[in-house]
Chains A and B, each alone.
Chain A
Amino acid sequence: MLPWNYGFQWNAGHIIFLGAFYAVLATVAATLLRAGIRSRRDLRTRKVEHIRWHSDFHDLPAQDRVCRHVLTGEFKSRECPHAFDCRECETHAKLIERRPVAEEEIFGLVFPVSRVEVLAEVQAGDEEEFFGLSFPLNRMYHRGHTWAQRESDGTVTVGLDDLASRLIATPDAVTLPAPGSLLEVNGTAFHVRKRDADVRVLSPVDGEVIETGGAGQGWYLRVRPTANDERAFRHLLRGAEIRPWLMRELERLQLTLSAEGAAAPALADGGLPVADISASYPKADWDAVCGEMFLEG
């Protein structure tokens, strides 16, 4: 093989053959090395949460990845290209700039409503209950079912929204981050355990944890956000988006419940969701249900 091997003759055939072999080996090694180096860099720059979310998002079924503007009817169908991080999205920026028309359904009829009017409605302290769930309009909502409320002192409180609370009810265990921990949008905020479910709840904001609350206090975390401008909260749902979003979420919950072995009557019968949904479906795979609703896949 090597030039000093007795009597070995190099010819074109050898060069082509061995050239191809070493090229293949080099390519494979380079690929592995590149993946390895990038991984090390990701670990060092603490992009683990970011990657975890992107990986989870990638594995969600297509219907769970719809753009928020499909919920409000601005698109017929569109898959979110930014893993629910609307802060970077040009399309979202364009849409809210032009203050496009949003649609609100009242008594089964569709009325075009502008965002200005929607916000005006909010100020008026309009209905806060959707489908029997309490969603105060002065809060902003994350698609992973947490809410974020901007306080007067510049901090943000974070909690589980009403649908999530009813799914978890009284959690068996809650693991909150220690004060001083850093959160990032769509990263892990905290963990809850209920029955066989062990889910991580997504964080709606970037920031540092100042104080921790608990299930009994109505809020879970108080966070000092990294940025306090409008752009930092752009990805959160609010106002007229909540109703269509919740409708879809309840549909999703229904599908999940029936798929995971729940035999109880469906919510669409017109019943209101109970305070402890988990107790009504003792046989359902609660881990799967929560995983689906909290977007953990």
Chain B
Amino acid sequence: MDKEFIARGVKRCSTGKFLLWIVPWAALLAFGLYAAALVLVKGLNQTNMDNRFAFGLWIFLDLTVIALGAGAFFTGFLLYILKIGELRAVINSAVVIGLVCYSGAVCVLAVDVGQPLRAWFTFWYPNVHSMLTEVTFCISCYLTVLAIEYVPIVLKNRKLREVPSFLVFEFELHKLIYVLAGVGTFLSFFHQGSLGGLYGVLRGRPFAFREGLAVWPSTFFLFILSAAAVGPSFVLLTTWLVEKISRKKLVKPEVFGLLGRISGLLLSVYVIAKTVDTLIWINRTSPESGFPAAQYYSWQPFGTWILFAEIGLLGLVPALMLLSPKLRAHTGWLVAAAAMACCGVALNRFVMTVQTLALPTLAFDRYLSYFPSWQEVGTFLAVVAFGVLVYSVSFRYFQLFPSERELKMQVK
């Protein structure tokens, strides 16, 4: 029925089957939007956040999806600036993932603040000392860049490119794509870093506070490294997942290996840097604030296992797995390592947001716990559903995987 919108030579399921796939996600989106609407209308009391847990599930998830969406800028950087041509096979998919992650994060942020209509205040009265100002500016700019990078993907649709102005505009825009890739890299460097800087500058929270370089705490650089490391892994993971769900070969196997190798390399550097930083923090930074590091891990369930899990089990282990050519050659190990790396970064973001706030600062304070309310979970699920919907539509109607047709020939 919609065959004229589907690219030539690639097989997509029937329209009916596609709708069957879409409907449950749309329902989830509707439910999530209802939860978000409740929060917007009734206020943030609909969540389980409070004055001690000022940040909760949403901020943790925002940080995680932005780290995972780093694949968009990093793949673009590697392809258009460093000219690693094999990544052309996944760049479109990475851009869609990035767009979904960032737009989802921005939407959740709009619900998370007490007065969303005042969002423009940050642009009008910027506080250049604040990391959050930096985050706001960079993420807004970067979302714009991602949206512009998505336009050529849309305009290349089989039916749309018959419109002469669309065809021509896509062609001209694609000639300048390297400018956007460069700007995207510059912006991503800063906002990934600033998200880390958000916690690193908190002198009042010795658990999160780090020393660093000039105004930038070490978490600034660690977040950039971890985001760049996990970006390719997430692209790998999603590509594999899409291949499994669509039952098609979408990229050449060498591309998986390449993504895994890049991820493993950066992850190793990150693990080393993080270990050094943690040691400095335990031995110098934290005691100087009057807080010996051991006390942070004396409250269950946040024992020292969380530190070892983050850096060791979900950091060093996947790094070594991804660096080993033998393990990389097996899709099973490769995908497992990529998934572990993504979980490791998610755990790192969790530790920096939730664990920081759970720990007491005043001596007569208590360790606190928090569990998200259904409205918070619902809003997050809306983002997931939104992502799946946008990706599904893009996969069906746009050419996210240029190698797909070529691989179809080779298989037979």
Contacts and interface: CB of A to CB of B under 8 A. Distances in A.
B176 A36 contact: no
Nearest to B137: A21
A297 B144 CA distance: 31
Contacts of B364: none
Contacts of B3: 196
- Residue with the greatest number of chain A CB neighbours at <10 A, chosen from B165, B168, B170: B168
Contact of A24 (B9, B123, B134, B141): B141
A27 B412 contact: no
Contacts of A13: 128-129
A1 B165 contact: no
Interface string B126-139: 10110001100100
Nearest to A36: B169
For chain A, the bracket of interface size reads 35 or more
Nearest to A199: B8
Interface in B143-184: 144-145, 148, 161, 164-165, 167-173, 175-176, 179-180, 183
A283 interface: no
B145 A28 contact: yes
Contacts of B173: 31-32, 35
A247 B375 CA distance: 65
A258 B412 CA distance: 6
Q: Which of A24, A51, A260 has the most CB of B within 10 A?
A: A24
B406 interface: yes
A255 interface: yes
A23 to B, nearest CB: 9
Contacts of A48: 164, 167-168
Given A259-B408, A259-B409, A43 B165 contact: yes
A42 interface: yes
Contacts of A43: 164-165, 168
A287 B8 contact: yes
A285 interface: yes
Interface in A127-159: none
A48 B166 CA distance: 10
Nearest to A296: B8
B187 interface: yes
B128 A35 contact: no
Nearest to A34: B176
A35 B125 CA distance: 33
Given A5-B125, A17-B133, 10 more contacts: A14-B126, A25-B141, A28-B148, A35-B173, A47-B168, A48-B164, A51-B168, A51-B171, A52-B161, A259-B408
Interface of B: 3, 8-9, 11, 123-126, 128-129, 133-134, 137, 141, 144-145, 148, 161, 164-165, 167-173, 175-176, 179-180, 183, 186-187, 402, 405-406, 408-409, 411-412
19 contacts: A1-B123, A1-B124, A17-B137, A25-B141, A28-B141, A28-B180, A31-B148, A39-B165, A39-B169, A42-B168, A48-B164, A52-B167, A54-B171, A61-B405, A255-B409, A259-B408, A260-B9, A296-B8, A297-B8
Lowest 9 A-B CB distances belong to which pairs?
A288-B9, A35-B172, A13-B128, A35-B173, A39-B169, A38-B172, A17-B128, A259-B409, A258-B412
